[in-house]
């Protein structure tokens, strides 16, 4: 590689890194507890657990009628309407019911209801409570909504540029050194430079995966709006002039109809009429598989909320599939405890890479200013000798 090309790549690496470093540090620091959000929620006592049943009943637990589940939740807040209800794959004994004053209420009321007895269990807090809620908002949008999400997406793209340019620079830098060399006997700055390069190349693939999936996740709101304006709009087109609903069909019967139409799939969540994932005239029943991967992929089944018949069902478009696949991969949710541990270790290593890069830039700036300050005090005739002497060291 020519010296001019090397300088160009060095400039790209320096400035792409510097612009995004502070924000990437924020994302790594807030992302670390989010890797263990389930465990932190359990530690802080915010996990919701279904009550134990008698041994003879637990062996073959009953399933409560969904209309009864809804009635139990609404009995707590009679003036609120149903927005969503969902069920986690690893907790089939609980229905998570969401009530609000209107279909887009941001101040909704979550209620956990026993899926076997239709009895209310509790009104749960977000996993981890206020701390985890703050970490999530900082990680997702820095409390700035969609502009914050898009800004972090741009920082993620800069991170990818910094990683690629760092790889280009790594080969000529390591030309005279063995892989993994950290020159402890040299200056502190040189030792940190070696450590920065070593950890950077070790975490290369992980950083690219997490960076790329993070960029995709920042587009979630935009992609959902595109889907709603295209696919969902086409699915509910026949109802654009329909009269408002006067009565609602049984939710339990609607779910049974959806499950019969999609054998081998389970209900992930149900969107009620008027919410962004349904229409004013439909239940949106979102089915998914029962495996670690397929449980992340949804298939919407629209059911007429007036008569309980299926009006449309189709696969999600590719861009929403990419979004759904990227979300658990971003936080290491696919492989259990060992994958979470690996993600945490690599996250910490990346924090060191980012911090050391910032340190090296600051030290280099101080050194350059010191050299510039000392230069006028040196006699012109002596400067070349000093320069050659410095190079030999």
Q: Is the pLDDT at 391 greater than 80, yes or no?
A: no
Top mean-pLDDT range of 174-178, 309-313, 324-328, 339-343? 309-313
pLDDT band at 190 (very low <50, low <70, confident <90, very high): confident
Taking the C-alpha atoms of residue 183 and residue 181, their distance in angstroms, rounded to an integer, is 6
Say whether pTM exceeds 0.85: no
What whole-number percentage of the chain has pLDDT above 70?
87
Query: DSSP class of residue 78?
Result: T
**Three-class DSSP labels, 164-199:** HHHHHHHHHHCCCCCCCCCCCCCCHHHHHHHHHHHH
Q: What is the pLDDT of residue 337?
A: 82
Report how far apart, in Å, the C-alpha atoms of 89 and of each of 13, 46, 291 are.
43, 18, 9
Band of the pLDDT at 105, cuts 50, 70, 90? very high
The two three-digit tokens of residue 287, written as one number: 């089915």
In angstroms, the Cα distances linking 263 to 118, 184, 211, 237, 334 are 25, 62, 36, 27, 24
pLDDT digits (tens, 9 = 90+) for 346-355: 999 999 999 8
228-257 average pLDDT score: 92
Kindly report the number of other CB atoms within 10 A of residue 240's CB atom.
10
Report the mean per-residue pLDDT for the chain. Answer: 85
When comparing pLDDT for 207 and 51, which is higher? 207
What's the pLDDT at 224?
93
Q: How far apart are CA 50 and CA 125, in angstroms?
A: 15
| Per-residue pLDDT, 305 | 96
φ, ψ of residue 104 in degrees (nearest 5): -115, 25
- pLDDT tens for 294-332 read 788 899 999 999 999 999 999 999 999 999 988 888 887
Mean pLDDT of 113-131: 82
Mean pLDDT of 328-340: 80
Residue 375: predicted pLDDT: 59
pLDDT of residue 92 exceeding 60, the answer is yes
pLDDT at 127 over 60: no
Residue 152 has pLDDT above 90, yes or no: yes
Percentage of the residues of the chain whose pLDDT score is greater than 90: 54
Q: What is the pLDDT of residues 220-231, one digit of tens each?
A: 999 999 999 999
Asked if residue 164 has pLDDT above 50, the reply is yes
- CA-CA distances (angstroms) from residue 8 to 11, 12, 158, 168, 229? 5, 6, 16, 11, 43
pLDDT range class, residue 379, cuts 50, 70, 90: very low
For residue 362, what pLDDT band results from cuts at 50, 70 and 90?
confident
pLDDT surpasses 60 at 269: yes
What average pLDDT does range 280-288 have in this prediction?
95
* pLDDT value at residue 383: 35
Name, in order, each residue with C-beta under 8 angstroms of 226's C-beta and a sequence gap of 6 or more.
319
pLDDT tens digit string along 11-44?
A: 998 899 999 999 999 999 999 999 988 788 777 7
CB 141 within 8 A of CB 152: yes
């Amino acid at each position: 590689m020519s010296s001019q090309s090397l300088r160009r790549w060095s400039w790209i690496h320096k400035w792409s890194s510097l612009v995004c470093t502070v924000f990437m540090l924020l994302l790594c620091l807030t992302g670390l507890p989010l890797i263990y959000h389930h465990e932190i929620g359990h530690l802080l006592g915010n996990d919701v657990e279904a009550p134990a049943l008698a041994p003879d009943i637990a062996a073959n637990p009953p399933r409560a009628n969904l209309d009864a589940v809804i009635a139990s939740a609404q009995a707590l807040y009679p003036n609120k309407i149903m927005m969503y209800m969902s069920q986690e794959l690893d907790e089939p004994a609980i229905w998570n019911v969401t009530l609000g004053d209107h279909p887009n209420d941001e101040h909704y009321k979550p209620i956990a209801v026993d899926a076997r007895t239709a009895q209310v269990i509790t009104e749960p807090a977000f996993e981890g409570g206020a701390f985890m809620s703050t970490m999530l908002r900082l990680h997702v949008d820095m409390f700035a909504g969609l502009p914050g999400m898009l800004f972090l997406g741009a920082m993620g793209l800069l991170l990818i540029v910094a990683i690629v340019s760092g790889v280009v620079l790594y080969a000529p830098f390591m030309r005279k050194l063995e892989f993994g060399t950290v020159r402890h006997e040299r200056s502190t700055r040189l030792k940190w430079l070696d450590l920065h390069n070593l950890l950077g190349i070790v975490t290369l693939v992980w950083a690219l995966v997490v960076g790329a999936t993070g960029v995709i996740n920042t587009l979630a709101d935009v992609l959902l709006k595109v889907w709603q304006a295209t696919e969902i709009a086409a699915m509910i087109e026949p109802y654009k002039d329909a009269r408002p609903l006067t009565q609602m069909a049984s939710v339990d019967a609607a779910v049974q109809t959806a499950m019969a139409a999609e054998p081998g799939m389970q209900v992930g969540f149900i969107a009620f009429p008027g919410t962004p994932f349904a229409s004013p005239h439909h239940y949106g029943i979102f089915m998914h598989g029962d495996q670690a991967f397929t449980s992340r992929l949804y298939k919407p089944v629209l059911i007429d909320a007036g008569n309980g018949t299926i009006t449309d069902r189709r696969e999600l478009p590719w861009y929403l599939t990419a979004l759904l696949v990227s979300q658990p991969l971003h936080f290491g949710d696919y492989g259990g405890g060992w994958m979470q541990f690996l993600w945490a270790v690599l996250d910490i290593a990346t924090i060191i890479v980012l911090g050391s890069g910032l340190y090296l830039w600051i030290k280099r700036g101080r050194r350059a200013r010191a050299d510039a300050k000392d230069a006028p005090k040196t006699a012109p005739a002596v400067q070349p000798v000093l320069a050659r002497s410095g190079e030999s060291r």
